Amino acid sequence: MSFPALVEPAPELTIDEVRRYSRHLIIPDVGMTGQKRLKNAKVLVIGAGGLGSPALLYLAAAGVGTLGIAEFDEVDESNLQRQIIHTQSDIGKSKAVSAKESIAEANPYVEVVLHEERLDNDNVMQVFEGYDLIVDGTDNFATRYMVNDAAYFLGIPYVWGSIYRFDGQASVFWPQAELEDGTSAEAPCYRCLYPEPPPPGMVPSCAEGGVLGVLCAAIGSIQVNEAIKVLTGIGDPAVGKLVIYDALELEWRKLKVRKDPNCALCGENPTVTGLIDYDAFCGAISEEAADAAAGSTISVTQLEHMLKEREEGSRDFVLVDVREPNEYEINRIPGSVLIPKGDFLNGSALEQLPSDKQVVMHCKSGVRSAETLAIVKGAGYSDAVHVGGGVVAWVNQIDPSQPSY
């Protein structure tokens, strides 16, 4: 499908800009007019992490005139495996500031606007206003649904990407898109593809499941490619298409995504007519896990005391680590035994639990252990508890000599 250019051309390019963008200018499809459109474009990138890093660098290199960065986090050493816009000297620095400094080195002709705040219902519409296009580099479902809805209400195209381990996806969501002839493109939104979020705890985040660093570059560059096409009106952007990449098999697939007439947001009878409670809609953990954890969550300080009592013989319990074996190799709480969450889901873990001892469970941050706690309590271990904050809290508060991840 052919779409009109999203942005009008800037009045002119300077001599320096002509030199810089000459390889664009000699492409007939881009040319002087296309480059002027990029100069006049205002693009907001949400997140300066795995996807945001390559997206920001390539958007800046391409000559997008104004780049907004919505990011509230700080650079951590574990980011550097994939977040290539940051370097060793940036550790501890604001990611937004670090990204701005890298962009200034890459292209001083780009204006960078920082939004150093967590996006929420109170500020997302105000932050988005004035931008031509949104590039989403977030890693959680609640924010994706909020971004999709806010972009829809403002009529802004939304370039989405997602990564996990070796798999990536990308698409352009633009329900208000019109074709060159002025007719509706009948394009879908994110909710047309994913009407409901996955069950809480079903899909681990990159922080829990991991991601191949270079996968970020593959999907981030696809997002920039699509952004350039939409901004300049060239090619056939991924509107109504889902691009899927399997890095292990080196396999690309492209699926058609149709507009859902029953979509809660952009359908014929919408039920989502304003921003909603996205945390409640997506749920960090299931209701069963939340109920199980209520009154059955201990701190790492309490666990440390319990472990000392176990050493002294005045207390007995089994400490179960429900992470994966590769995580257990990175760090661990002394005295724990490894029984991965998957064994609880298939029921085999219950055979390994003693019936005469209290069961204490932990994971990386407390999400997986809360989910498994619900299973254990349902099996009759009424005094079972889990450790809030998991091994991350243990390393930060009790044993900083261990590595974190």
> Could you tell me if 105 and 234 lie in one domain?
yes
Last residue of a domain, one of 228, 259, 282: 282
Tokens 């296309």 sit on residue: 34
> Could you tell me if 278 and 294 lie in one domain?
no
> Could you tell me if 339 and 210 lie in one domain?
no
Are 171 and 81 spatial neighbours (Cβ–Cβ below 8 Å)?
A: no
Residue 70's contacts (CB-CB under 8 Å, 6 or more residues apart) are 44, 45, 46, 47, 96, 115, 117, 119, 127
> Could you tell me if 259 and 300 lie in one domain?
no
Partnered with residue 170 across adjacent β-strands are: 161, 243
C-alpha span between 357 and 315 (Å, rounded): 10
CATH number of the domain to which 45 belongs = 3.40.50.720
Roughly how many angstroms between the first and final C-alpha of the chain, as a whole number?
44
pLDDT by residue (tens digit) across 327-379? 999 999 999 999 999 999 999 999 999 989 999 999 999 989 999 999 999 99
Partnered with residue 359 across adjacent β-strands are: 318
Last residue of a domain, one of 255, 282, 309: 282
pLDDT by residue (tens digit) across 90-102? 999 999 999 999 9
Does 167 fall in a domain?
Answer: yes
Domain containing 204 equals 15-282
Question: What's the average model confidence in pLDDT over 2-24?
Answer: 97
For the chain, what is the domain count? 2
pLDDT for 163 equals 96
pLDDT for 205 equals 74
Would you please indicate which residues are annotated as catalytic (active-site) residues?
206, 363
- Binned at pLDDT 50, 70 and 90, residue 285 comes out as confident
Are 113 and 69 spatial neighbours (Cβ–Cβ below 8 Å)?
A: yes
pLDDT(61) > 70: yes
Does 199 fall in a domain?
Answer: yes
Ramachandran region of residue 233, left (φ > 0), alpha (ψ -120 to 50) or beta? Answer: left
Which of the two residues, 238 and 289, has the higher pLDDT score?
Answer: 238
Last residue of a domain, one of 263, 282, 301: 282
pLDDT(280) > 90: no
pLDDT(201) > 90: no
C-alpha span between 211 and 263 (Å, rounded): 31
pLDDT for 404 equals 86
DSSP letter for each residue of 285-304: S-HHHHHHHTT-EE-HHHHH
Does 5 fall in a domain?
Answer: no
- Binned at pLDDT 50, 70 and 90, residue 209 comes out as confident
Token code pair at residue 262: 């029953």
Are 37 and 12 spatial neighbours (Cβ–Cβ below 8 Å)?
A: no
Q: DSSP assignment, residue 349?
A: G
> Could you tell me if 156 and 275 lie in one domain?
yes
Report the SS3 class of residue 350: helix
- Binned at pLDDT 50, 70 and 90, residue 84 comes out as very high
pLDDT for 267 equals 96
> Could you tell me if 190 and 336 lie in one domain?
no
C-alpha span between 143 and 119 (Å, rounded): 8
> Could you tell me if 372 and 257 lie in one domain?
no
C-alpha span between 255 and 99 (Å, rounded): 33
C-alpha span between 376 and 356 (Å, rounded): 14
Question: What's the average model confidence in pLDDT over 147-168?
Answer: 97
> Could you tell me if 223 and 333 lie in one domain?
no
Does 216 fall in a domain?
Answer: yes
Report CA dihedral (368, 374, 376, 378) to the nearest 10 degrees: -160
> Could you tell me if 252 and 146 lie in one domain?
yes
CATH number of the domain to which 359 belongs = 3.40.250.10
> Could you tell me if 184 and 318 lie in one domain?
no
